Structure 1
């Protein structure tokens, strides 16, 4: 099995109110007054109060090429990844040269060598560290990354594995694109990063790590949904695909998937005290609550994250998890972490706090 030792979230220093971001983007995205009215309405109803951006607001007014944007991605992603990883390792009491396995994920920029490789000499990681950079999973990659670390650590119980997620969504906003997809996405997504440090059972026992263990995972890919969420590469970068069909997929599949997953572990929904949902947007969170018949405030931490920083793609569910780990948990508490991404794909991670954790110690 495996155990989560620490999770650290990182955000760019530039933070702006949603209304200020909207006014900056309006003339860049569309000159049509009717479309601008729609864009203002969509942004004001997005459940987002503020967002962190990797660039100062005025810099987004400048026309740049995809190459220039991606160069900026590589530099800023490396910086944010380093910040989050060092913080997470420090909280776990693990040195960089003790890391054995790294999964890096992003869908908002590309780099070869990948960002995880750039971190090896920068942070003093070993030159024989095993690396798996992932591209294309989008918002689901935070949950999927934890699941894949768990898979690895089951076979390497004395090792340390790390998930790094960096999403600089603001660099993908398309100018002169007044499609409904872009009008919605330009009001939802923010920039951020997160690092998860996990250890195998033998390492956890030796170090006395009390974080939750990963009890089980499940992956799903829903047929016929490939055009519901995603990115379409173009000359100007990644054009977002974001349709209302995601709610239909949730309604049709999530209740049965969650019941089946919990049943496999001899649990029911009432046994889950902590729900850690990817904050994909207000309608997505509403669909999760409706489909799973959750109590009114079950996804409150996800909604608060959405309001404070927006949707951070793969980093979002990890930001929610980081906040949850700071709370108190009794032995026997269960949590369910889940997310959706392009495909449509879904990942479910069942967590169990089998050792008590006090809030003061966890913080």
Structure 2
């Protein structure tokens, strides 16, 4: 089975308390005394109930009001994304005791910017990746991509069991801000999302150093699309860039689908939710997490690290689940040999599940 050798998360240096971001967004986005007063009340309520206390942003807060559109924001995504991606990948390889030219596959994911050549192609020379390294840059999986990326490198390593694969996630959600969009979904996104990157290194079952690593093994994976839910989550992309699609029905979709999905997946491996000793869940927001806990019958502490991550850094899209996996291994390592579950939700509406063995 695939063995996780290392995982490392990084954050931009610009850290702000939630109320500072709330005030800055209000100043940037609202025009007109009456509208501003009404919308500011909605903004304050959404930010106060988001579960987020602090976030890290790609830029100093005052620079966001000066952005001149999607082109400039995307240029900054590439610039800052390369810096964070390089830092995350170097550190993860160092933790694994590997050097860049030992990497056989790089799976890169982001849903907050566009780059061609892709981020890992631009990083290859800087890092010292081999010219023949296999590359899979992916856009569109959204918050599910951290889990889906781990699943796909597991698929690859099953066919190349002696090799090394890495997953790189770079998400700069703040650079998707559109000042003219004062819709409720945009305000919810402005309350939840932060910036960050993460890298995960994995080796196949026949890698010569596999036994040295204490990280969990990947046992099985499952991805699922739920028909008829395509309009619940994602982007509308127009002349001015990304516009968030964030349906109010998301918590109900979690209640409707996720309990059955998780139980079915675990049952296929003779397990049930009570057997899971470590839940590594993407922090989709308070209502989504509450729905997940309710539908799975989880105790109050099961998602503690997910709630802690949401409070400390916000929702980092695909990078969040990797940060929470890192925190689980560092702060609350489950008993060796017991099962864990890593899960995330994304556009489609979709879920990605990864069964682990600690």
CA RMSD, Structure 1 to Structure 2 (Å)? 1.0
Structure 2 vs 1, CA of residues 126 and 207 (structure 1 numbering), >3 Å: closer, same or farther?
Answer: farther
2:340 equivalent to 1:335: yes
Equivalent residue pairs, number: 353
Give the structure-1-normalised TM-score: 0.96
Map of 1:99 onto structure 2: 103
Contact 2:67 2:73 in 1 (8 A): no
Map of 1:280 onto structure 2: 284
Map of 2:229 onto structure 1: 225
The gaps in structure 1 that reach 5 residues or longer are 354-363
Give distance in 2, aligned partners of 1:200 and 1:174.
Answer: 43
Structure 2 vs 1, CA of residues 328 and 139 (structure 1 numbering), >3 Å: closer, same or farther?
Answer: closer
Give distance in 2, aligned partners of 1:311 and 1:156.
Answer: 33
Give distance in 2, aligned partners of 1:244 and 1:150.
Answer: 33
The SS at the match of 1:161 is strand
1:256-303 alpha-carbon deviations (Å, 9 max, x no partner): 111110010011111101111100100111011001000111101000
The SS at the match of 2:191 is coil
Give distance in 2, aligned partners of 1:170 and 1:133.
Answer: 21
The gaps in structure 2 that reach 5 residues or longer are none
Contact 2:124 2:130 in 1 (8 A): yes
How far the C-alpha of 1:88 sits from its partner, in A, is 0.5
Bigger drift between 301-310 and 242-251 goes to 242-251
How far the C-alpha of 1:255 sits from its partner, in A, is 1.0
For residues 55-74 of structure 1, the aligned pairs below 5 Å read: 55-74=59-78
Map of 1:352 onto structure 2: 357
Structure 2 vs 1, CA of residues 341 and 147 (structure 1 numbering), >3 Å: closer, same or farther?
Answer: same
Map of 1:243 onto structure 2: 247
Structure 2 vs 1, CA of residues 317 and 328 (structure 1 numbering), >3 Å: closer, same or farther?
Answer: closer
Give distance in 1, aligned partners of 2:212 and 2:6.
Answer: 13
How far the C-alpha of 1:63 sits from its partner, in A, is 3.9
The SS at the match of 1:296 is coil
2:30 equivalent to 1:17: no
Give distance in 2, aligned partners of 1:295 and 1:51.
Answer: 27
Give distance in 1, aligned partners of 2:24 and 2:96.
Answer: 40
Bigger drift between 29-38 and 307-316 goes to 29-38
The SS at the match of 1:73 is helix
How far the C-alpha of 1:30 sits from its partner, in A, is 2.3
Map of 1:301 onto structure 2: 305
2:102 equivalent to 1:89: no
Give distance in 1, aligned partners of 2:29 and 2:232.
Answer: 22
Contact 1:104 1:163 in 2 (8 A): yes
The SS at the match of 1:315 is helix
The SS at the match of 1:119 is helix
Q: Which of 134, 146, 155 lines up with 2:150 in the alignment?
A: 146
Give distance in 2, aligned partners of 1:12 and 1:281.
Answer: 21
Map of 1:312 onto structure 2: 316
Structure 2 vs 1, CA of residues 219 and 58 (structure 1 numbering), >3 Å: closer, same or farther?
Answer: same
Give distance in 2, aligned partners of 1:344 and 1:328.
Answer: 31
The SS at the match of 1:187 is helix
The SS at the match of 1:113 is coil
1:172-231 alpha-carbon deviations (Å, 9 max, x no partner): 011121111101111110000000101001116555222110001001001111111101
The SS at the match of 2:122 is helix
1:17-74 alpha-carbon deviations (Å, 9 max, x no partner): 0000010011322232101110111011100000000000110111412111111110
Contact 1:30 1:178 in 2 (8 A): yes
Map of 1:133 onto structure 2: 137
Map of 1:203 onto structure 2: 207
Give distance in 1, aligned partners of 2:23 and 2:163.
Answer: 49
Give distance in 1, aligned partners of 2:335 and 2:170.
Answer: 32
Superposed structure 1 runs of 4+ greater than 4 Å apart = 204-207
Map of 2:179 onto structure 1: 175
Map of 1:44 onto structure 2: 48
Give distance in 1, aligned partners of 2:6 and 2:329.
Answer: 8
The SS at the match of 1:186 is helix
Give the structure-2-normalised TM-score: 0.97
Give distance in 1, aligned partners of 2:96 and 2:2.
Answer: 14
